[in-house]
Structure 1
Amino acid sequence: MMGPVLAACLLIILSTAWISQANEALCKKDGGVCSCNNNKNSVDCSSKRLTAIPINIPTDTENLKLNYNKLRELEPTAFHGLKELTYLDLNYNELQTLPEGVFDQLVELDELYLQYNDLKSLPSGIFDKLTKLTDLRLFNNKLQSLPEGVFDKLTQLKTLQMTSNQLRSVPEGAFDSLSNLNLLYLRSNPWDCSCKDILYLRDWIDDNKDKVTGAQDAACGDQQSKAVLDITEKDAASDCVSPNTTTAIPTSTTTPASVIYDDIHEIKVPQENFQKFLGYQEPDHLPTQPQCLMSISGYLGLMMSLMLTSAAILYVFHFLKKA
């Protein structure tokens, strides 16, 4: 009897044609994946449990909502062709990283919301093409550091929110190009006020406290006991290792057999192609490609074994009959 995993695999294959037709229904009135307001060039894909971005978003879209989904990663070309986009909302997803160049064609973008994700770092130059951006929200992520010059091209930026991350310092000159900034939230980060690196942030806050709201709330350490603005050179006397420094792993380190065994069973299978033909349904409850292949392979192997066994039995009977 056909196993449940094999049955699921066959069901996936048979549903591919239906999913393809469903993709074509995006923004139509007959129950597409997303809803559209053509008069406002707006596409709302929020709260759809999406694991991949729809591929046929209209190229004249100006307002795109992808918040409250299950996005863990983005294709580098996810937003290519959307050159009219001014508003992009990706908050409340599960993004752990951003591919380089993913926003490069969004030259008209005004607002970018990336809050409430799992971002630990940002690629160099990730915002360089967003020269018209005025509102950037990065709060409630897991950012541990910022690349050099990450905000240098954002000369029109007015609001920058980085509350509730894991930032200990910012690169020298990080905010120097933000001449139009009037709101900067930095609180609830473990700013390391014992390192000299923090002095740039202290001086920048001091120089801009009359025109930029919120930056003066940045406080030292996990306990947030002392304002960054109030630290002295004596407080920040240490030469600290940059958070971007990578510590080499000793070559003599051995890995326990139990860890190796666990790794074998926890190998992550790339889901990009799988998601493309799954459409936008949550795939967690469905078998992965290797599972499908293994199931089909096992099924065919079993059938082959039965055929060979039957042939062997028939041969034996034939031989005995002759004898």
Structure 2
Amino acid sequence: MMGPVLAACLLIILSTAWISQANGATCKKDGGVCTCNDQTKNVDCSSKGLTAIPSNIPADTDRLDLQSNKLSSLPRTAFYGLSKLTYLTLSNNQLQTLPAGVFDELKNLETLWLKTATSSGLSHEECLTAYLSSHISAWSQNKLQSLPHGVFDELTELKTLHLNNNQLRRVPEGAFNFLEKLTRLQLYGNPWDCSCNDILYLSKWIREKEGKVNGIESATCVNKKAVLEITEEEAAEDCVYPNTTTAIPTTIITTLASSNDDDIPELPVPQENFQKFLGYQEPDHLPTQPQCLMSISGYLGLMMSLVLTSAAILYVIHFLKKA
């Protein structure tokens, strides 16, 4: 009778493994990579070499630490279901832009870190200590080049926002208009382009909030002049950035519409430049390569679990018939 007992145990173990595989464990206690504290509702996924955000982060998480990983992009639904978050850090990753609506679910968020670590002003020994203590690699740094319109609009409870040491040249019109509770905003370490009239919104906003929001006065242009001091005369140019959709001149559209295909000359425009001209961005609903690999491995694991579970069931039936 030991045969059926062993088979039943095997069935239970395989079923548990299948459930774990299907749920995609996040916390170490369940076989995941992150450290989860049930009492404080903290989830620490920092310095894990992650290329994608772990699935199934507990819905009641209050603080989520994703700093010092290798996140190069985020899906638009990255934080859906995490409405109780009050603290989120994505510092020291490889992010260059953010998808529109990525923070819309975070209605209770109070602190958001999107900065890059910097060793400016530290001695050699201090830099080495900082490197060893934080496990930040030289290639793991956010270099945000742009922000989508309305990316912060839903963060009405936000009090602290760190955007320092990125590659931001401008922010969209109205970027901070809904952050009524904001008390600290770090903007330094960005190459703010003060020759373009797009900077006038930020300049005016800083002047209005000076003394009310800490840290904003430190924003400086590439020529070292303070952003808050920029005038309309200085920022007179209409600049076009890679992520800004530019309308195609109507004369070109008319010409193309009235011409035969054989008459249209082939223009030697490099694909990369053409994409920049159109403000091309990869669709945020397509999975990144690491996410594809994770999905494939998940399906393979699931299929293997099903095969083994079926074998265990047949094994139990076989011994029951003999008994």
TM-score, reference length from structure 2: 0.59
* Shift of residue 142, structure 1, vs aligned partner: 1.3
Is 2:267 aligned against 1:242? no
- Unaligned segments of structure 1, at least 5 residues: 1-16, 169-190, 260-268, 280-323
* Shift of residue 161, structure 1, vs aligned partner: 1.2
Q: Percent identity?
A: 51
Determine the C-alpha separation between the residues in 2 that align with 1:86 and 1:39.
15
- Give deviations 1:165-217, integer Å, cap 9, x for gaps: 2322xxxxxxxxxxxxxxxxxxxxxx33xx66666666655555444544444
Report the 3-state secondary structure (helix = DSSP H, G, I; strand = E; otherwise coil) of the residue aligned with 2:29: coil
Contact kept, 8 Å, 2:188 with 2:218, in 1: the verdict is no
Distance 1:81 1:230, change over 3 A: closer
- Unaligned segments of structure 2, at least 5 residues: 1-16, 117-141, 253-264, 274-286, 299-323
Distance 1:94 1:51, change over 3 A: same
Distance 1:39 1:80, change over 3 A: same
Is 2:298 aligned against 1:276? no
Determine the C-alpha separation between the residues in 2 that align with 1:270 and 1:231.
40
Determine the C-alpha separation between the residues in 1 that align with 2:177 and 2:73.
25
Determine the C-alpha separation between the residues in 1 that align with 2:238 and 2:198.
10
TM-score, reference length from structure 1: 0.59
Determine the C-alpha separation between the residues in 1 that align with 2:152 and 2:199.
23
Determine the C-alpha separation between the residues in 2 that align with 1:232 and 1:148.
17
| Structure 1 letter corresponding to 2:293 | F
| Structure 2 letter corresponding to 1:56 | N
Report the 3-state secondary structure (helix = DSSP H, G, I; strand = E; otherwise coil) of the residue aligned with 2:88: strand
| Structure 2 letter corresponding to 1:274 | L
| Structure 1 letter corresponding to 2:86 | T
Is 2:268 aligned against 1:254? yes
- Give the structure with higher Rg (CA): 1
| Structure 1 letter corresponding to 2:164 | F
Contact kept, 8 Å, 1:71 with 1:94, in 2: the verdict is yes
Report the 3-state secondary structure (helix = DSSP H, G, I; strand = E; otherwise coil) of the residue aligned with 1:29: helix
Residue equivalent to 1:127: 152
| Structure 2 letter corresponding to 1:90 | L
Residue equivalent to 1:104: 104
Output the aligned Cα RMSD: 3.5
Distance 1:203 1:95, change over 3 A: closer
Determine the C-alpha separation between the residues in 1 that align with 2:104 and 2:247.
32
Contact kept, 8 Å, 1:23 with 1:32, in 2: the verdict is no
**Of the candidates 148, 157, 169, which is equivalent to residue 173 of structure 2?**
148
| Structure 1 letter corresponding to 2:292 | N
Structure whose residues are more often helix by fraction? 2
* Shift of residue 86, structure 1, vs aligned partner: 0.7
Residue equivalent to 1:50: 50
Map 1:31-42 onto structure 2 (within 5 A): 31-42=31-42
Contact kept, 8 Å, 1:87 with 1:112, in 2: the verdict is yes
Determine the C-alpha separation between the residues in 2 that align with 1:79 and 1:102.
7
Determine the C-alpha separation between the residues in 1 that align with 2:32 and 2:199.
50
- Give deviations 1:77-135, integer Å, cap 9, x for gaps: 11111111111111000112211211111111111111121211111111111111111
Determine the C-alpha separation between the residues in 1 that align with 2:210 and 2:160.
19
Determine the C-alpha separation between the residues in 2 that align with 1:138 and 1:91.
9
Contact kept, 8 Å, 1:92 with 1:115, in 2: the verdict is yes
* Shift of residue 219, structure 1, vs aligned partner: 4.1
Determine the C-alpha separation between the residues in 2 that align with 1:31 and 1:65.
18
Contact kept, 8 Å, 2:159 with 2:182, in 1: the verdict is yes
Residue equivalent to 1:172: none
| Structure 1 letter corresponding to 2:237 | C
- Give deviations 1:7-32, integer Å, cap 9, x for gaps: xxxxxxxxxx99x7497443243653
Distance 1:254 1:85, change over 3 A: same
| Structure 1 letter corresponding to 2:94 | E
Q: How many residues align?
A: 225
| Structure 2 letter corresponding to 1:239 | A
Residue equivalent to 2:185: 160
Higher relative contact order, structure no. (Cα contacts within 8 Å, ≥ 6 residues apart): 2
Determine the C-alpha separation between the residues in 1 that align with 2:81 and 2:95.
22
Contact kept, 8 Å, 1:51 with 1:275, in 2: the verdict is no
Report the 3-state secondary structure (helix = DSSP H, G, I; strand = E; otherwise coil) of the residue aligned with 2:292: helix
Contact kept, 8 Å, 1:120 with 1:144, in 2: the verdict is yes
| Structure 2 letter corresponding to 1:254 | P
